[in-house]
Amino acid sequence: MCVAVFTSASVSSCMTMFSLSVSSVTSRCHLFTALHRCVLTSNAGLTYASTCIGSTSLTNTPFKQESKISAVRNVCTNQDCNVSEKTCPSTANSEVRVRFAPSPTGFLHLGGLRTALYNFIFAKKHGGTFILRLEDTDQNRLVPGADEAIEDMLEWAGIPPDESPRRGGPLGPYRQSERLELYTQAALDLVDAGHAYYCFCSTQRLELLKKEALRSGQTPRYDNRCRHLRAEQVQEKLSTGGPRVIRFRLQSGVEPFQDLVFGWNQHEVAQVEGDPVVMKADGFPTYHLANVVDDHLMGISHVLRGSEWLISTSKHLLLYRALGWSPPAFAHLPLLLNRDGSKLSKRQGDIFIQRFQQAGVLPQALLDLTTHCGSGFATNRIGRKMEDLISEFNPSKITTHSALLDLEKIPEFNRIHLEQRIEDEEQSDSLVKDLQEHIQKAYADEIQGKDVLRGSYITRILRLRKGHISSLKELVSPGYSYLWVRPSVSYQQVAALTSETQHISSLFLRFIEAQGEELSVEALSKDLKTLAKSAKATKYRDVMKLLRLSLSGLQQGPSVAEMMVSLGRREVIHRFQKLLLLSPIS
């Protein structure tokens, strides 16, 4: 069903987009599918439809707002145009359009990210469109800021939607709370066609039904009482203006459907459930109606969602059939579970994407981890980039087994992806900027000078520490503070290591002064071993401890040679000179 939301200009644009030849029944069928996706409401759109299809019945009749798209459907039917999947397969002849439809009742977590990722990859694999739609019809549970944060995190993760509340698009709006007229009209169409009915049962009665069912050990379900009200009874109750909902009339004989992951499925929902509410008393739809209406009007070709919705799909297919629409293809993704097999929960503070972002986890590492523990790809190696995920994705390889997520592997994945980014010149530049911000935030006025914030200096540090660190934030930890702040070393500290401080510092100072600006870790390592032998009474190990202490103020860390290369010739000279000047009263 399509209800008025487009302007005349939008309809005109839509006409141009779908200027088709309609000389055959098949062509008329494709036009009908196109019109569904155009959201026709204006007389201009109806005139265009009637002109293309070859009928004047659309414009010669004074239509009410809600009956316009029904007229389009009727014209198609009158022209013997079968819109079933057999003769008008939208998934075969139209572009791939998929959607990620979270509820902003919380922030994006790993389970949602994986669903969004599989939709994004599927769209890009087939040159299609990835849509973000916010299902915000549960107004009582909305979390302030969650809607913006969800889109922020998708963009941070590198899977930005092509159409969304923020970006807009041709088939918006993309918030369900802004599409209420569409759902209301669909519900009224169902009532008019006898596929739905008004229910006036009070909350108290429904609660009693639930308690009685639980008391007798049965699954609570509505008893379909209002389904049997006579027309005059319905009108009488409606005239009072009291609260009511609209329920969908479930039918037996559900046709099986083929899920792209779980294969053939069939759930006789009418045998185990009462008629479900599709329109609540507050005027908001339930998920079952809203997702069907939106998927149809937004031209969704494939629905990739969590397997928890598999059992509801038969109910949704009944709604598609009642509304006269062809359903999309379905692929239900196996659950993403904790390593111990328990379900991911929003109560777990460590599964929210913002938490990983704040901890310095790279988005590529997070995406790699969530796909590595699952299925659907030609390989299962660590270090895959987005282009690898897209090229290797194969829905037929998605298994029905739940994926176990091991969050303890994040440092390993992050280390590998950080190494890849350091090696990539363009991405390395962004790392430099990020690290500059971390340095200024962590040390502020303590920074030894502007030189440590230079891009060339930071780039050298990154390349030397490549493969050793799992996060940029490690480089501003106390163990690496010597890179940005000159250490404070006392005479007592060096005296505890050797009595030859003056001799050793003079020896190494002369050596480094004789070196060029370009230092090499490999060459320095050999020279340091040779020079250390010149100490008369100090072992090689203690010589290295002395040098490390003077350079970093630490007893552990990278090799002395790497420290010297990291700091650069001039800074090493400065720190050795300070060592040379140490005295018992300093």
Choice among 125, 210, 280, 346 that is catalytic: 346
Give the distance between the most distant pair of CA atoms in the chain. 111
Closest CA to 572 of 555, 539, 547, 542: 547
Distance CA 248, CA 195 (A): 6
Distance CA 567, CA 548 (A): 12
Please give the distance of CA 125 from its chain centroid, rounded to a whole number: 17
Q: Write the single-letter amino acid at 393.
A: F
Torsion 69-74-76-82 (CA) sign: positive
Distance CA 28, CA 22 (A): 5
Distance CA 96, CA 98 (A): 7
**The Cα angle at residue 409 between residues 403 and 413, in degrees rounded to 5:** 105
346 catalytic, yes or no? Answer: yes
**DSSP label at residue 582:** -
- SS3 sequence, 341-370? CCECCCCCHHHEHHHHHHCCCCHHHHHHHH
In this structure, what token pair is assigned to residue 271?
């045998």
Q: For the chain, how far is it from start to end, CA to CA, in angstroms?
A: 85
Active site residues: 346
